[in-house]
Structures are given as structure tokens and as C-alpha cells.
Amino acid sequence: MAERSLTFRIMRYDPDMPDVKPHLQDFTLKEEPGMTLFVVLNQLREEQDPTLRFDFVCRASICGSCGMLVNGRPSLACKTLTKDLSNITTLLPLPVFKLLGDLSVDTGVWFREMSMRTEAWVHNDDPFDATAEEGRMENETALKIYEAERCIECGCCIGGCATANLKPDFIGAAGINRVARFMVDPRDKRSELEYFEVVGSEDGVFGCIGLMACDDNCPIGVPLRGQLAFVRRKMAAVGWKMR
Ligand code: FES
């Protein structure tokens, strides 16, 4: 591999210094074999600018901390290899989420609020029995739940969503996926009407304008298009009955 010099054009912003407007700063380093953006950003912070802010925990596409716009596309930095990038790469923080500084955003507040709005827990009035045997479930059902649970809450689906960028209250693909997860769970006793109250609105499943950037940008391939269609079909049927 011919050695390349890579330039990273990174957004810099410190909320504690509001007089310094957000701006792009260029950093250059030599590419190494197998280099990811995780390696790049750590190297830049260690060798060139210790104030550079970005988030990582797992380095393995598991924790969802490192979502950012890589040349405009929401991506996981730890999963992005420099060999797939051109000589100049622009890195911006994910939009929609609260900006903490440079490339670091607070996805936690957004996801917590979404979890509260969707009441993302099993609704069941059965009395708790610590001695009861583990409940059984069809494999097919368990796999559907598992598929939705694979979401790592990185926010890439939200950052790339036109509706979420325009409407702060839009629940987004991550929220709809969360609702789909509980809809298929036989332990959750919520009625479809109760789900309608949560997502049967323009801030919910009917706010999606169908561009499906969420599905294109999900870095771990959660089937968001299918989840959206599933919830939308169910909610449209409830809405129709209510007319
Ligand atoms: S660092 Fe955990 S997903 Fe990238």
C-alpha cells in the first residue's frame, strides 16, 4: 500500500467559549495499515491537540458512542477504515443531539427521553413471583425481539433523518424500532390503542416522510425499514377503526 498523508477536516466548537464560532480545523497524519477513525482521532489527540473532543468506549461497534458525520454520512468512527476514505475527510458531530464539544454529542439524554415517551418496558400486571420458572416464548418471537434489541443507540439513524432534523419531537427510527420490539413481545399487555397514543401521530410513526436514510445509515443493519412498515401498518389500522 502506497503511504498516504491524510487530512482530517474536523469541526471544532467549545460551548464554554461561545465567542469562538464553530469552525473546521485541518489535521494531517500518515496512514497506517488497518487504520480506523478511532485510531486517527486518538493519535491526533495524543500527538497534536489534547483538547480534541470525541467519544469512544468499545472500539467494536457495540457501545454506540462514536457516531459522527463522516463526509456527511452518519457512521461509526470505530468501524470506519481510512482505506475507504479519500485523502481529505470531513468529520462533523451528529446533528439533532446536544453538542458537547467538537465531535462529542449527548445521545443519552435523547434516548432516555425516547424511552420514557415510548414507555420502553414490559407492561404487565402479573404479580411478581421470584420462584416462578422462566417464561417460555416461541423461537421466532424471541428472534424478532432480539433483532430490534440489536440497536446500539448510536444515533446514526436519527442524525441522518430529515424529519428528525426538522422536528425535535420526532420519535425517529430508533423510537419506532423500540415500539416494534414491545409490540411483538407477548409479555407486554398493552393494547394497540395504547400504542397508538404513543406513536400514532405526526411526532410518531406518521411523521416519517419515507426517505429511509435511517435504514441506509444503520451501521449494524437493524431492519428499520421493516420495523417502520410494521408499526405504521398496525397504527394505520387502529386509526382507521377510530374514524
Ligand atoms: S466506540 Fe463503541 S461503537 Fe464505536
Which residue ranges make up each domain of the chain? 5-105, 118-128+137-242
Atom of ligand 1 nearest to the CA of 55: 1
Residue 109 Cβ inside 6 Å of ligand 1? The answer reads: no
Q: What is the DSSP string of 176-243?
A: HHHHHHHHT-TT----HHHHHHHHSSTTTGGG--S--HHHHH-TT---HHHHHHHHHHHHHHHHHHH-
Locate the ligand 1 atom nearest the alpha carbon of residue 64 and give its number. 3
Whether ligand 1 lies within 6 angstroms of the CB of 220 is answered as no
- pLDDT, residue 25, reads 98
Q: Please give the pLDDT value at position 106.
A: 97
- Amino acid 1: pLDDT: 58
| 57 Cβ below 6 A of ligand 1 | yes
* CATH superfamily, with its number, for domain 118-128+137-242: Alpha-helical ferredoxin (1.10.1060.10)
Stated pTM of the model: 0.93
Give the whole-angstrom CA distance, residue 134 versus residue 129. 10
In degrees and rounded to multiples of 5, residue 161 shows phi and psi of -90, 125
- On the 0-12 / 13-18 / 19+ scale of CB atoms within 10 A, 228 is buried
Residue closest to 97 by CA, chosen among 87, 81, 112, 110 = 110
- Ranges of residues in the chain with a pLDDT under 50 are none
Q: What is the pLDDT of residue 242?
A: 79
Pick the CATH number of 5-105 from 3.10.20.30, 3.30.310.50, 1.10.579.10, 3.20.20.70: 3.10.20.30
Please calculate the CA angle 208-151-135 and round it to the nearest 5 degrees.
110
- The whole-angstrom separation of Cα 155 and Cα 146 is 19
199 Cα–ligand 1 center, Å: 29
